[in-house]
Amino acid sequence: MHLQKRILVTGGAGFLGSHLCERLVEEGHDVLCLDNFFTGTKRNIEHLITKPNFEMIRHDLVQPIFLEVDEIYNLACPASPVHYQYNPVKTVKTCIMGAIHMLGLAKRVNAKILQASTSEVYGDPVVHPQKESYWGNVNPIGLRSCYDEGKRCAETLFFDYHRQNRVNIRVVRIFNTYGPRMHPNDGRVVSNFIVQALTGQDMTVFGDGSQTRSFCYVDDLIEGMIRMMGAPDEFIGPVNLGNPGEFTILELAETIIRMTGSTSNIVFKPLPKDDPMQRKPDIALATEKLQWTPRVNLEDGLKRTISYFKAMIE
């Protein structure tokens, strides 16, 4: 049995946050789930509400909050282009004010804190696959900058709080993750394709479909985050977490059509601005330091995700 800790998960009602809360509750920790329900939903955590070691707090991280906790997982931020571009100023505020408020809390109560950063800090990478030492190729004034630069600045704050105030930090850079509880309208490729395939709509591929992505199943990602939180204090990251299996968008569309038995047609649309052509994590560091590698292959993960969306649509 693990030592019981009091753990705060910001963005805890979101896709990743709800899976993390569930895992921490199962491990017997006292879990505080904080969310303002901008993209998170109560449906994601309703099965946890009755648990004695789970608490829900409705709060917006742009405002400070005072709590007593041992560990903080800072996941609060809309993470899909549809949502983070809806109110870009709010996205930047959530990234930066949220980081400042959570780091201030960690400093005050001497808590360990993990930042959920993103592969988006690499922008449209000219280095492939992406190693943690790569500084990225990011447009600071584009439509995606509110998220990319917001997350980059959050990493800056984490390292400065660590150097200046000795806050015990961890930084993980998350690559495309998918699984049950993804938001059906978040514009991400896996949820988009599955919903389109199940409802018989045309499947929209941007560009010619030759751009690549690496898809990590949610359970694998949560395992990586928990291992990073438990890593020795001298290993603070940043560390890439993602599945290095690389697929073209067209391959993904064809796989989902086959797995759902869909009659959908694939249609091609122009590529959005600043959309990266290649995304693939180099996970050598995570493998070495955390003994972590993803276990769930794309077909198995898609099977579980498809059945979740099926139940939701019916």
Q: Residues with catalytic annotation?
A: 147
Contacts of 123 (CB under 8 A, 6+ apart): 136, 137, 138, 139, 148, 274, 276
Contacts of 228 (CB under 8 A, 6+ apart): 114, 170, 172, 237, 239, 241, 286, 290
184/37 Cα distance (integer angstroms): 15
- The single residue listed with the structure tokens 């928990």 is 226
76/113 Cα distance (integer angstroms): 13
CA 138 from centre of chain: 19
24/256 Cα distance (integer angstroms): 31
Backbone φ and ψ for 94, nearest 5 degrees, come out as: -60, -45
| Nearest CA among 151, 150, 155, 157 for reference residue 92 | 150
